Structure 1
Amino acid sequence: MSMHLPVRPAWTCAGCGLAWPCPSRKRELLAEFAGARVSLMLYLSRFFVEACVDMPATTSGTLYRRFFTWPYEPTNGRHDNESAPPGR
């Protein structure tokens, strides 16, 4: 079981104190939901809704980016569906 769980209502990580989901939890979630990105997004939706309730002064756009954009960020300088150029 992960130690990187959200502490509400501030939505900080119980394991490291960073904003949740923290980098460690993001890595764990990507591994847990490998090949099931839609399921990951549905899982994160639950937390997004709860965070919206707990942090009404935070804009929904800020929370959207916090919960939904990181699974699609480039890794190692390229997207998951891109391959490295030949010879690199």
Structure 2
Amino acid sequence: MTTHGPVLPTWTCGGCALPWPCRTRRRELQAEFDRAPVSLALYMGSCFLAASQDMAWAPAGMLHRRFLGWLP
């Protein structure tokens, strides 16, 4: 179990206080979804949607890069 989960509604990392998903959580997610990249994309898409509602002040492009831009 990871300590690098999101703290809502600010979407900061509970483990390191960086913007979630932090570098550590990204590596963990890539390992967890190693053989299921579409499932990872769907999961991160749902996080992107929730974060965009929680952080309506944030530019959509920035949130897109943060939640989806790092996916292979």
Per the TM superposition, whether the score is higher than 0.5 is yes
Q: Please report the RMSD computed on the Cα atoms of aligned residues, expressed in angstroms.
A: 0.8
Which of the pair has more CA radius of gyration?
A: 1
What TM-score, normalized by structure 2, do the two folds share?
0.94
1:50 equivalenced with 2:59 (yes/no): no
What is the alpha-carbon distance in structure 2 between the residues aligned to residue 9 and residue 39 of structure 1?
23
Q: Which runs of no fewer than 5 residues in structure 1 stay unpaired?
A: 73-88
Q: CA deviation at 1:35?
A: 2.2
What is the alpha-carbon distance in structure 2 between the residues aligned to residue 5 and residue 35 of structure 1?
21
What is the alpha-carbon distance in structure 2 between the residues aligned to residue 6 and residue 61 of structure 1?
20
The total of aligned residue pairs comes to 72
What TM-score, normalized by structure 1, do the two folds share?
0.78
Q: Which runs of no fewer than 5 residues in structure 2 stay unpaired?
A: none
